[in-house]
Each structure stands twice: as structure tokens, then as C-alpha cells.
């Protein structure tokens, strides 16, 4: 009997014999030490060929947005002569303490990637493909997590070889401007020249998608079947792209993983954060012309101070490139024809909260105090009591993870799915990822980001007991959605599109399948308070 119930022999071969690297099989001799050359619209690139997958890393898609180009839309990359090496990831956008001389170095696993380097010269992308023929393969463009502030497309989390190999797709990841470099709203204080400064990081992604349209066929991809997908901040960027006029036609399907962005910043919030940023630099609001000459490390320092008061820099709704909120009050009409997959994980917030060991020992009173920050303070006790009824005998801290996740990630994913469905255009397919993995010796959880390894079929990063069957099922569903716009597969069965009446949802776990309105009572309770994204943040002074 197969170790992979429901997987045909042909598909099993695709996941094992062809996907030998993922399962620890010997590396074929024909694939060792090879390189490949492809000619793009700008020039020739030399990439690596490992086990039949050709990878091209650090492909420049835009000119460095520096000097007078800071906070403005980037220009496409200039052409070159000869053959450029495309064997290493490009620079990441400056972030955190990355420009400090004594900054902590990224080694091993990180959101930035092993031995990452940082520079404003960060407009690079990476391609993994099974072949350079005219295969017309579906193209899956991944947008990295880290909110709008951190991360890169070079993290080992997003290594695209296994997904490309097992599913015969072309995988693309990319870097773009982040935090203040990509989302500083200077429109009100610096005038028309910076009208789109709050979306510079998003217009970088549009530029990368334009590169894909122009070049991906040379990598065996189909420019008419481009899927954008991302987790956390990447899902938020996918949501925003759905509402950007300049992005329409550059992608044809969209997957939002744990990042349903219904609303983004108002112009009032974006302008206030920009004023705090200028104040942290010792500049007056009308001195934006001086920003082009300030070292990037100093800009990061000001960004960190402003973010500590007003949270991370984000796109501003009402900018020329983003004329409205992504999914508020409804799904954007301009992308009505784009099918979506939308989902979240069962205990997203355990990823963040469990870093503090004190959280795991909270009693009921301690949980209620924390819940006061999530719902109207007078309702916190009622919410906790309701969740005790939903989950009798559950540890208070585990209830906290459920409440915090349902309040944000889960509720917002169901709102986004319903608004897409109510549009009556292309369908939305909603999922809940519930594969449990160890939290402590006797406790399990389903943390933020844990589904990524399954979607990418990167088994070395998938935690829990025997993840291979679920990774095979999920990665095929993701690829089938990219291929056809419908994630139903032979192994998974029919995936019913979402609707606001019975809310059919695919639950991924040891026994995956469709469930109508999972956690419906929890959803209704949280919906009674509205989405947290509806709250306009207080305009606070710089500390």
C-alpha cells in the first residue's frame, strides 16, 4: 500500500523519483556542476543547473532607486553586454539595524537569507524552472513576508526548486524596497513629485511583474498564467496588488496566505508618520529635498523611531497607484476576474506570543488582561468565557492563541473571502491550515508561517509527524490553482468556492477536506466587534 493515500503512482513518482533532492535520494550525475545560459530582454544570464532545475538568482529588474530616485518609482534595469552570472541572491532592502556597522549578521535560517547583504540597490528577482523550452508552464511569483518592513525573497523558506520540480511550474521570488524606503508618504508635505512615495515598494513589485511578462517565456513559463502568492506581509502585498490599476493584467490568479489586507493606511496616518520621520532626522516637513543625500543608515534610524510610535510604514490608500483600500468596503472591481485562494493557520499568533515563556503559564486572569487589547475591554471576560465553552479543558494560554488568531488573521480572511465571493466575479477558495506541530513537550500548535514549507514542498522545513503526504497534496493544490484557477485535485477532491451563506472551507490537516463555516461561532463573535483594521490609529507624538 502507498504511504501516500489518494496519490496515484504517476503523481507519487513526480514527488519522489523526480523530487529526489527533497527526499534525500542521490543527486543524478547529469545534474552535477552544470550551468545554463538564457538571453533576456536586457542581456544574457548564466544560472545553475542542479538536479534538473535551472536557477537564476540576483537578476536585476530595476535600476537602483537611490539619490534623486529615492521614494519614487524605479526605472527598468538597463541592458548589458556579455553574460552576467546569476548564481547568488541580490541585496535585500535596508531594514532594522542592517546598515549599522555592528549589526547582527544573518547566518543560517532567517527571513533575509543566509549571509544576506543590504543595500538600496535591492531590485532583484530569482527564477527556478524545470526547463528553458517553450513549456508554457504556470508561473508562481512569491512575495515575501515580514510585513511591509523586513524580509527578502532569498530566505531558505522560499527556495523554489522542489515546487518547480514536483509540480512542473516556474517559481519567481523577488526583493523590493521596504519600510520608509518603500512606503514613506511624502505626498502632503513634499508635493506632486512624491505623490506616489507611499507605494514605491509596491510599484517595485509591479516593475518585477512587468519583467515577468516580458521575459518569463524564455524561462519556460507562460506569461498568460501568472499567479502572485505570498504569506503574512506577502499576502498583504497580494491584497494591495488586487487594487492597483497598474498591476492589472500582469497576473491572473492570487493567493493570500495569512495576510488579508482589507484596509491600509489613510493619508492622515501616512502623513503623520512621515512628519515623525522627518522630525527624527532633525528636518522640517518642507525639507524633503534633503532626503536624497542622507546616508541610508541614518534613514533607518529615523524609520525605527517613527515606527516605534506609529507602527510600520505601509502603503497609503488614495495615492495615484492605490486609489482605494484593497478590500474595503468591498473587493476591488478592477480585479473581479482574478480568482483567489485565501487562508490562515489555526493558531497564527502562537508564533509570536510563545517567544515569551511567561505566556505559556498565564492563568485565566492573565489571559483576560491581554484580551482587553483585542476587543472592547468590557467584553474581554465574556470572550474568554465563550472560548472556554468552545474549548473545554484547554490551557488558558492556548485559548489566548485561539482568541488572538480568530480576532485578526482568521476573521479578516473570512471577510476578504466573503467580499470576493459577493462580487460574483471570479471565485474565492478559502482554507484553514490545521496541521499540528510541537510547541512544548506535551503541547502542539499551528503557528504563523508553518504552511509555507508545505506549499513549497520543502520537507526539511516542515515540522510535525510525517509531513510528506500533506505537503504533496498542498503543493499540488497550489500549483493546480496556478495552472487552471481551481485548486481541486484528484488527491484533495473538489474544493468548493466560498460563499457567505454556508462558507465552505478546505481544512488542511491529517485528514484534509471541506467543512462548512469552520469555527463559525468564533467568527460571528469576532465579527460583532468588526475587523481590527477598521480602527484608525491614534496620531501620537515622537518619543
Q: In whole angstroms, how large is the CA radius of gyration of the chain? A: 23
Catalytic site includes residue 538 = no
Residue 468 half-sphere exposure toward CB, CA atoms < 13 A:
16
| Residues 374 and 407 sit within 8 Å (Cβ to Cβ) | yes
Residues 6+ apart with CB under 8 A from 347: 398, 401, 402, 405, 445, 446, 447
CA distance 428 to 238: 14
The DSSP letter of residue 464 is S
Q: Is 448 annotated in the active site?
A: yes
> What is the C-alpha to C-alpha distance for residues 20 and 215, in angstroms, rounded to an integer?
29
CA atoms of 285 and 167, how far apart (whole Å)? 51
| Residue of 149, 161, 197, 232 marked catalytic | 232
CB atoms under 10 Å from CB of 290, counted, come to: 12
- Which residues lie across from 231 on neighbouring strands? 257
**Which one is catalytic: 15, 272, 325, 448?**
448
Query: Dihedral sign, CA of 355, 143, 242, 316?
Result: positive
Query: CB neighbours (10 Å) of residue 426?
Result: 19
The set of cell numbers assigned to 344 is 490562515
**509-515 long-range contacts, Cβ below 8 Å, gap at least 24?**
509/434, 509/435, 509/436, 509/470, 510/435, 510/470, 512/470, 512/473, 515/432
Residue with cell 503557528: 447
The answer to whether 193 is a known catalytic residue is no
In this structure, what are the phi and psi dihedrals at residue 497, rounded to the nearest 5 degrees?
Answer: -60, 150
CA dist 506 and 301 (Å) reads 43
52 and 28 Cβ atoms separated by less than 8 Å: yes
CB count within 10 Å of CB 97 equals: 15
Q: Which of 173, 181, 176 is CA-nearest to residue 155?
A: 173
Q: What are phi and psi of 262, to 5 degrees?
A: -85, -50
Instruction: Decide: 446 and 401 in contact? Cβ < 8 Å.
Output: no
Q: What is the 3-state secondary structure (H, E, C) of 234-282?
A: HHHHHHHHCCCHHHCCCCCEEEEECCCCCCCECHHHHHHHHHHHHHHCC
Helix ranges, 333-410 (H) = 350-353, 364-371, 380-390, 396-405
Residue in 159, 217, 231, 348 annotated catalytic: 348
Taking CA 212 as the corner, what is the angle to CA 176 and CA 338, rounded to the nearest 5 degrees?
A: 90
Phi-psi region of 28 (alpha: psi -120 to 50; beta: other; left: phi over 0): beta
Active-site positions read 232, 348, 448
Amino acid at each position: 500500500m502507498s504511504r501516500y493515500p489518494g496519490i496515484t503512482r504517476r503523481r507519487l513518482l513526480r514527488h519522489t523519483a523526480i523530487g529526489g533532492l527533497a527526499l534525500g535520494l542521490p543527486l543524478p550525475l547529469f545534474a552535477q556542476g552544470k550551468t545554463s545560459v538564457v538571453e533576456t530582454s536586457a542581456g544574457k544570464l548564466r544560472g545553475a543547473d542542479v538536479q534538473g532545475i535551472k536557477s537564476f538568482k540576483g537578476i536585476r529588474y530595476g535600476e537602483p532607486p537611490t539619490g534623486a530616485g529615492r521614494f519614487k518609482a524605479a526605472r527598468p534595469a538597463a541592458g548589458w553586454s556579455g553574460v552576467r552570472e546569476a548564481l547568488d541572491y541580490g541585496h535585500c532592502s535596508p531594514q532594522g539595524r542592517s546598515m549599522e556597522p555592528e549589526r547582527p549578521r544573518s547566518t543560517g535560517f532567517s527571513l533575509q537569507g543566509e549571509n544576506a547583504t543590504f543595500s538600496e540597490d535591492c531590485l532583484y528577482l530569482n527564477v527556478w524552472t524545470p526547463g528553458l523550452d517553450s513549456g508554457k508552464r504556470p508561473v508562481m511569483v512569491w512575495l515575501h513576508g515580514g510585513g511591509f518592513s523586513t524580509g527578502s525573497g532569498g530566505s531558505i523558506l522560499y527556495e523554489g526548486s522542489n515546487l518547480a520540480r514536483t509540480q512542473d511550474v516556474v517559481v519567481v521570488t523577488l526583493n523590493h524596497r521596504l519600510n520608509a524606503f518603500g512606503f514613506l508618504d511624502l505626498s502632503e508635505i513634499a508635493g506632486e513629485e512624491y505623490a506616489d512615495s507611499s507605494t514605491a515598494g509596491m510599484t517595485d513589485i509591479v516593475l518585477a511583474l512587468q519583467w515577468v511578462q516580458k521575459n518569463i517565456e524564455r524561462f519556460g513559463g507562460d506569461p498568460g498564467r501568472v499567479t502572485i502568492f505570498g504569506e503574512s506581509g506577502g499576502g498583504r502585498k497580494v491584497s494591495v496588488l488586487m487594487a492597483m490599476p497598474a498591476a492589472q493584467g500582469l497576473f491572473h490568479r492570487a493567493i493570500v496566505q495569512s495576510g488579508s489586507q482589507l484596509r491600509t493606511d489613510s493619508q492622515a496616518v501616512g502623513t503623520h508618520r512621515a512628519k515623525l520621520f522627518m522630525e527624527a532626522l532633525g528636518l522640517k516637513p518642507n525639507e524633503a529635498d534633503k532626503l536624497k543625500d542622507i546616508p541610508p543608515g541614518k534613514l533607518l534610524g529615523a524609520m525605527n523611531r517613527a515606527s516605534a510610535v506609529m507602527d510600520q510604514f505601509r502603503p497609503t490608500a488614495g495615492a495615484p497607484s492605490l486609489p482605494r483600500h484593497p478590500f474595503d468596503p468591498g473587493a476591488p472591481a478592477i480585479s473581479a476576474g482574478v480568482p483567489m485562494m485565501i487562508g490562515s493557520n489555526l493558531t497564527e499568533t502562537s508564533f509570536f506570543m510563545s517567544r515569551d515563556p511567561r505566556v505559556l503559564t498565564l492563568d485565566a486572569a492573565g489571559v483576560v488582561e491581554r484580551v482587553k487589547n483585542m476587543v472592547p475591554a468590557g467584553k474581554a471576560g465574556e470572550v474568554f468565557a465563550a472560548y472556554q465553552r468552545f474549548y473545554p479543558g484547554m490551557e488558558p494560554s492556548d485559548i489566548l492563541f485561539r482568541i488572538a488568531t480568530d480576532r485578526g488573521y482568521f476573521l479578516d480572511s473570512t471577510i476578504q473571502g466573503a467580499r470576493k465571493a459577493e462580487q460574483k466575479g471570479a471565485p474565492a477558495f478559502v482554507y484553514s491550515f490545521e496541521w499540528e506541530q510541537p510547541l512544548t513537550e506535551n503541547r502542539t500548535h499551528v503557528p504563523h508561517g508553518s504552511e509555507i514549507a508545505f506549499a513549497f514542498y520543502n520537507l526539511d522545513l516542515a515540522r510535525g509527524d510525517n509531513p510528506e503526504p500533506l505537503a504533496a497534496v498542498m503543493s499540488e493544490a497550489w500549483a493546480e490553482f496556478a495552472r487552471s484557477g481551481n485548486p481541486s485535485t484528484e488527491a484533495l477532491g473538489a474544493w468548493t468556492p466560498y460563499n457567505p451563506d454556508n462558507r465552505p472551507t478546505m481544512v488542511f490537516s491529517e485528514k484534509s477536506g471541506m467543512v462548512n463555516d469552520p469555527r463559525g461561532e468564533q467568527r460571528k463573535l469576532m465579527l460583532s466587534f468588526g475587523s481590527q483594521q477598521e480602527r484608525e490609529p491614534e496620531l501620537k507624538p515622537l518619543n
